Amino acid sequence: MITYFICFITIVSLVLADFYSLRYDDFDIQPLLENDRVLMGYAKCFLDQGPCTPEAKDFKKVIPEAVETTCIKCTTKQKSLIRTVIKKVMNNHPDIWDQLIEKYDKDKIYRKNFDNFINDTD
């Protein structure tokens, strides 16, 4: 019985290791969507132009890999949250969006796939 339990825990750990931390599945994006000051605080953090909250630091660490892999390690919920915030930045702050692209995909290697990711609805 213990052996089955250990095997189960190992399998679950391996599956979860393929995703970014689930603790951000329920991250409240409303302050980002409703308050430009908060949204710009995150953007400045990501652009190395301002301080980072603990959450922003965590997000910033995974941005390069998420862009490169079109968020392959993101959960479905995380993908939805990311798409919503990115669309807000794209629509309301295209200059900031251009700066983020320049920083994280300067050669526009991942642009087409990432655009498809943003417009996806899964």
Rounded Cα distance between 121 and 15, Å, is 23
Residue 19: pLDDT band (50, 70, 90) is: low
pLDDT the model gives residue 13? 35
pLDDT the model gives residue 10? 32
Mean pLDDT of 19-41: 86
pLDDT the model gives residue 120? 84
Scanning the chain, the segments in alpha helix (DSSP H) are: 2-17, 30-34, 36-46, 54-68, 76-92, 94-104, 111-119
Residue 8: pLDDT band (50, 70, 90) is: very low
Structural domains of the chain in order of their starting residue, each with its CATH number: 21-119 (1.10.2080.10)
Question: Each residue of 70-103: pLDDT tens digit?
Answer: 989 999 899 999 999 999 999 999 999 999 999 9
